[in-house]
Amino acid sequence: MNLILLGAPGAGKGTQAEIISEALNIPQISTGDILRRAIKDGTETGLKAKSYIDAGKLVPDEVMIDIVRERLTMDDCKGGYILDGFPRTVPQAEALDTFARTDAVIELAVDDQVLVERLSGRRVCLKCGATYHVSMLGDQTCCEKCGEELVLREDDRAETVLNRLKVYHEQTAPLIDYYEKRGLLHAVAGDQGIEGTFEAIMRLIKEKA
């Protein structure tokens, strides 16, 4: 099954995609992870994307479309996949329709204030990618998995988060209308905890299967 997860920054797309990937044995395709790796490696694509991401803006469509098209041709996608972070605009969705089939689109709905609190409190290990929240860390400042220092990513700072949400509502939210008109959209409340949200998503997937 080919799935798309929609939702504002911090809505839980990455977390849910990872769990669904394991449950259905299909790959999670996170454009965010791909871009962060490119930035870390200093590739041409990474350098182009960095200025947009740091400012809380969207990476240009042509860059994202090329990255996704290439990824979906890989063998592990033949049995299905989960797109996390793409498409983000209607033009991206229209481009995706030209080279891939979509079976269902799941929207994770969460209030903006909750999202600001989630993201500005997030701390990340740049070495292994582990993510934590200050509400659970106490005095801990290093990653439990590899011991590296945890950091607040530039795009998780409160002022950047607010800008990212503004960009989302202006440019990405129209995707909801796009997929709703095609009969593919299914909304799930993203504030019912990780397990509760996952169970709601899996019920929808079983109905579509």
The residues annotated with a catalytic role in the active site are: 13, 88, 122, 153, 164
CA distance 155 to 59: 13
Q: Are 153 and 122 in contact (CB under 8 A)?
A: yes
CA distance 26 to 48: 30
**Rg from Cα positions in the chain:** 17
Phi, psi angle pair for 147, to nearest 5°? 85, 0
Q: Are 82 and 29 in contact (CB under 8 A)?
A: yes
Residue spans of beta strands (DSSP E) within the chain? 2-6, 28-30, 81-84, 104-109, 122-125, 131-133, 150-151, 185-189
Nearest Cα neighbor of 29 from 3, 57, 61, 58 is: 3
Q: In the chain, what is the straight-line distance between the N-terminal and C-terminal CA atoms, in Å?
A: 8
